[in-house]
Amino acid sequence: MPRILSARTGPRRTGYALVLGLVTTCAYYARNDRFVFKSINQFVKVLTSVPLFLGLDLYSPTLCNMFFFRAYRGMHRDRLVGLADDLFEVTLKPSIYTHSEALVRQTRKLGYRTVLVTGALDFTVRPIALHLGVDDVICNRLEFKKHIATGRVLAPLVAETAKATIIMAYAELENLDLNACCAFSDSTSDIPMLTATGNPVATNPTRRLRRFAKGKQWPIISLSGSDQADDFNPFPPFLGSGPQAMEATQTPI
Amino acid sequence: MSDEGQLSSWRFDPVQGQYVPTDTRRPRGTGEISAIDQFRSKTILLLGGTGFVGKVLLAMMLDRFPELRHLIIQVRPKKNVSGEQRFLNEILKSPPLQAIVERIGVDSIRHRTSIVEGDLSAPMCGIRAEQLAALTDTVDVVINSAGLVEFDPPLNESLITNVYGIQNLIELVQVLDAKLVHISTCYVGGKKSGRIPEDTPIVGYYPGREGPEDRRFDVTRELEWCEQFIGETEDKILLRDGGMERAEHWGWINTYTYAKSMGEQLIARTEGLKYCIVRPAIVESSLAFPFPGWNEGMTTSAPLVLMGGEGVKAWPVRKDGSLEIIPVDLIAAGILIATAAVLADRGETVYHLATAADNPIMLPRLVGFLGTNSRYKHKHKTSGNKLANVWKAYVETEVVSVSQLAASRKRVRWGLDLIQATFNFLKVILGSRIMNSYLRNLRITRRQLRQQEQTLDKFLPFMVHNSFIFETGNIRRAYNLLTPKDQERLQWTPEDIDWADYWVNIHTKGIERWIRPMFAKQMKALEQSINIPVS
């Protein structure tokens, strides 16, 4: 079972993708409350807040995050934990890239410790971490009082750039050499984290990150499976590539 | 998550229901008792190593105490299978031991253990004379976790293991000149509510006892009554009902706790015996050791979780009550703490191993968890009746009173009678070929409902009639006397159990994985046993 660490990182995505991803998750919890009227009330509140979140996200993703988690206020932790597996099956599992598991397997096979660094909440991340088979998770946690969410996130609320600080602290604690580590991300907000490791990899990158990665000569990979362009490569060169590497990851460790 | 590393700034405090900083320091053990030193210099004889608790206890001793001097495990031989073979092929290959075997190797285990054949129900627990001679003056402590844990077995069966077996055990311990750690149950207290202390006198106890002067219950007299009753009764059902009635007459909740209490009394009244009685509450899936979610057998709350998974919606529970459940690895740790204390001559007479005194899980919360499990299972189920799946997935579980439950049962029965009458009428018109399958399904449904009702009724003393909180001061004090090194190996920390995570992610999944297949087999056998002749 992966360890879930409470140090917080910035969101993995930026812009609309971040907002819509968070809204989908929260909306799921809101519309699945134990009590019908509470459920309707919470769901409507989440939906009507979307324009505000979009506007805030353009101004400051951190501020958007802070405001966004207020939508969880009043929800019981038992319910959030109890529904996490269903949320995973319904919403999250279908959006996991085809080759993600193979990538995790390959890195573990080569002796890497895999750490999932995400701005999502602990109970939401748990099934993803188990599905992918990662070793550790660094994620957000909601604040609760008597098992009821207050709508705040536990400090320290880390902005995008803080992800680098977090993994540095993690590496120091676990006695890891960051130069020997690799980092995967799709977003420009994760550039500080990517830069902090010796082997950054742009993974299904946004246009801006692709441009940046090309400039830095970072490997660019696609895990979506649908990307069959000439430069398609499921893994970066240092992990092995091409069909042999893919075959090697077919059997779970 | 139990192991969060130092990077975590927060840990969830399940009692307060909020995150607290991880740097909150806990008091360290005083080191007045060293479990490591005790186990390094003493030989242990374990009885009941094949049971649910016994296997985890065995695994914990082998895994956590490489210093262990010697462990002798009593195994009951089966037809054509020796105790040694059972140990190698059954116990060491069982899931909780497999991981330990892989980690430390069979040779290391064989080096530190030996097997004796025996049976609790035989004199000297069935240990042969030559082996007994070899064990005398060798064994320092006997841990007995053998027992029949069925709630309402025929009275004679319950007495064989839980009472007469204890007489044999006492003889054995006296011959070996050893100390005794006996595993009983918290529920020997009987029908009571509120805080149950650990210092209630054992000899002459019955739940309705009015004080030490009340000598109405005497275990010798009671056994005479039992023997007479058993001698006059041949029918198994009458023996079952008679046991339950006798237990209830004195104020116990079932035959199991009645027999267990008599076993305790036999131990407590034996002059010169150095012993302690460890009383676990309802033992559930492991929290972390040997791996999260290990469970075995259709005992404890497994039937309730399975029923919840089947879509039962109305649960008769006390809104202000807690369920005294405890993971099996905490039980194993508690037994070893008590054993170390007894070996160091610092033992108490009784150790309750329970959670509600430190960290209660309230019953309405459990009803909510049962609902989310049913929701997940039936929402993603591809087989079965679609409408039923939708109902089981989306209708929420609810807390009901006993009278509401009785009324709802009446309505369901009335509805099923109506459906059956309709089917019988249609059978006359359409013929039995068409209608027999419907009638068969209806009969299966009826039988399943009856089984559910019976199971639920067995649990009413724990969920409705009484609200127990077992005091656990003795085990807490013993834990505080250990060395910090011992405390790393034997953690008594019920206050850390995050019940939401435990019930949803560990216990329910453990039952679905380890118990559900057995339950499904039973259900299939039940369905196959129902035949409606084509007439």
Give me B398's structure tokens. Answer: 């609810």
| Residue A227 in contact with partner chain B when CB distance is under 8 A | no
Distance of alpha carbon B103 from alpha carbon B99, whole angstroms:
6
Is A156 within 8 Å of chain B by CB? yes
What confidence score (pLDDT) does residue B281 get? 96
Question: CA quadruple B337, B301, B366, B524: dihedral positive or negative?
Answer: positive
The tens digit of pLDDT for each residue in B70-112 reads 999 999 998 889 999 999 999 999 999 998 999 999 999 999 9
Cβ–Cβ under 8 Å, residues B45 and B56? no
Give the pLDDT band of residue A51 (cuts 50, 70, 90). confident
Check CB contact under 8 Å for B4 and A3.
yes
Nearest CA in chain A to B503: A82
How many residues are there in chain B? 535
**Coil, strand, or helix at residue B11?**
strand
Cβ–Cβ gap B4/A143 under 8 Å: no
| Contact across the interface for B10 and A154, Cβ inside 8 Å | yes
User: Cα(first)–Cα(last) distance of chain A, in Å?
Assistant: 14
CA–CA dist B329, A63 (Å, integer): 44
Residue-wise pLDDT for B145-168, tens only, equals 998 888 889 999 999 999 999 999
Decide if B308 contacts B374 (C-beta within 8 A): yes
Confidence band, pLDDT 50/70/90 cuts, at residue A46: confident
pLDDT, tens digit, for every residue of A61-101? Answer: 667 777 778 888 899 999 999 999 999 998 888 888 888 88
**Touching check for A96 and chain B: CB below 8 Å?**
no
Q: What is the pLDDT of residue B5?
A: 37
Please tell me the predicted confidence (pLDDT) of residue B530.
59
- Report CA-CA distances (Å) from A231 to A22, A25, A184, A236: 32, 34, 18, 11
Candidates A86, A126, A154; nearest CB to B19: A154
B179-183 and B275-280 beta bridge pairing? parallel
Q: A158 falls in which pLDDT band (50, 70, 90)? A: low
The predicted-structure confidence for A177-220, as pLDDT tens digits, reads as follows 988 888 988 888 789 889 999 889 998 888 999 999 999 999 98
With beta carbons less than 8 A apart as the criterion, state whether B354 and B491 touch.
no
Rounded CA-CA distance B160/B122 in Å is: 9
Mean pLDDT score across all residues of chain B: 91
- Answer for the pair A126, A84: CB distance below 8 angstroms, yes or no: yes
* Identity of the residue in A136, A143, A174 whose CB atom sits nearest the CB atom of B19: A143
Separation in Å, CA of B296 to nearest CA in chain A: 21
Nearest 10 degrees: CA dihedral of B298, B304, B305, B310?
110
Verify whether the Cβ–Cβ distance A83 to B372 is below 8 Å: yes
Yes or no, beta carbons of B18 and A146 under 8 Å apart: yes
Q: Do A154 and B365 touch (CB under 8 A)?
A: no
> Could you report the per-residue pLDDT of B496-528, keeping only the tens digit for each?
999 999 999 999 999 999 998 888 777 777 666
Specify whether the CB–CB gap between B358 and A69 falls below 8 A: no
Rounded Cα–Cα distance for residues B450 and B253 (Å):
21
| Chain A residue at shortest CA distance from B365 | A78
Record: contact A6-B373, CB cut-off 8 A? no
d(CA A41, CA B290): 44
CB contact under 8 A, A141 and B10: yes
* CA-wise closest residue to A72 among A153, A183, A3: A153
Mean pLDDT of B229-250: 94
Nearest to A4 among B4, B9, B18 (CB): B4
- C-alpha dihedral sign at A126, A130, A134, A136: positive
Evaluate the omega torsion of the peptide bond into residue B290 and state whether it is cis, within 30 degrees of 0.
yes
Chain A, window 73-92: residues with a beta carbon less than 8 angstroms from a chain B beta carbon:
76-79, 81-86, 89
Report the residue of chain A nearest B369, measured CA to CA. A82
C-alpha B115/C-alpha B123 separation (Å) is: 18
Q: Nearest residue on chain A to B506, judged by CA atoms?
A: A1
Q: What is the pLDDT of residues B253-312, one digit of tens each?
A: 999 999 999 999 999 999 999 999 999 999 999 999 999 999 998 777 888 899 998 889
Convert B364-391 to b/e letters by CB count within 10 Å (16 or more is b).
Answer: bbbbbbbbbbbbbbbeeeeeeeeeebee
- Which ipTM score applies to this complex? 0.85
Specify the pairing of strand A142-145 against strand A148-153: antiparallel
In contact, A3 and A135? CB cutoff 8 Å: yes
**B chain contacts of residue A158, beta-carbon cutoff 8 Å:** none
Q: Mention every residue, 6+ apart, whose C-beta is less than 8 A from residue A96.
A: A128, A131, A132
Is B380 in contact with A89 (Cβ distance < 8 A)? Answer: yes
Q: How many angstroms separate the CA of residue A127 from the nearest CA in chain B? A: 10
The residue with greater pLDDT, A156 or B119, is B119
pLDDT score for A170? 85
| Residues B304-332, mean pLDDT to the nearest whole number | 93
pLDDT attached to residue B25: 65
**Which residues in chain B have Cβ-Cβ distances shorter than 8 Å to A78?**
365, 368-369, 500, 504
Angstrom distance (rounded) from CA A200 to CA A236: 9
Rounded-to-10 torsion of CA B338, B342, B346, B348: 60
3 state SS of B319: coil
Check if A29 contacts B (Cβ < 8 Å): no
% residues pLDDT > 90 (chain A) = 16
B364-373 mean pLDDT: 94
The whole-angstrom separation of Cα A148 and Cα B228 is: 58
Q: Nearest by CB to B500, which of A6, A78, A146?
A: A78
Three-state DSSP at B344 gives: coil
Cα–Cα distance, B132 to B127 (Å, whole number): 6
A7–B9 CB contact, under 8 Å: yes
Q: If residue B276 lies in a helix (H) or strand (E), which one and from where to where?
A: strand B275-280
Nearest to B7 among A7, A82, A146 (CB): A7
What local confidence, expressed as pLDDT, does residue A103 receive? 85
The C-alpha torsion from A196 through A201 and A203 to A206, rounded to 10°, is 70
B317 Cβ neighbours under 8 A, 6+ residues apart:
B363, B364, B366, B367, B399, B463, B464
Q: Do A146 and B16 touch (CB under 8 A)?
A: yes
Assess contact for B127 and B118: CB atoms under 8 A.
yes
Nearest residue of A to residue B364, measured between CA atoms: A78
Q: Do B500 and A85 touch (CB under 8 A)?
A: no
- Helix, strand, coil shares of chain B as percentages rounded to 5? 55, 15, 35
Instruction: Give the mean pLDDT of B168-180.
Output: 96
B307 is written with which tokens? 């029923």
- Tokens 């360290």 belong to which residue? B28
State phi, psi for B129 to the nearest 5 degrees. Answer: -55, -45
pLDDT of residue B252: 95
Q: Is B505 exposed, middle or buried (0-12, 13-18, 19+ CB in 10 A)?
A: buried
Q: How far apart are CA A83 and CA A100, in angstroms?
A: 24
Q: What is the pLDDT of residues B193-208, one digit of tens each?
A: 899 999 999 999 999 8
Residue A10 has a pLDDT of: 31
Distance of residue B21 Cα from the nearest chain A Cα, in angstroms? 10
- The larger pLDDT score, comparing residue B331 to residue A220, is at B331
Residue A72 corresponds to which tokens in the numbers above?
Answer: 């969880």
To the nearest whole Å, the CA of A81 is away from the closest chain B CA by: 7
pLDDT of A54 > 50? The answer is: yes
Tell me how far apart the 2 most distant CA atoms of chain B are, in Å: 83
C-alpha to C-alpha distances, B440 to A104, B187, B423, B452, nearest whole angstrom: 50, 40, 11, 18
Residue A128 host element (H or E): helix A122-132
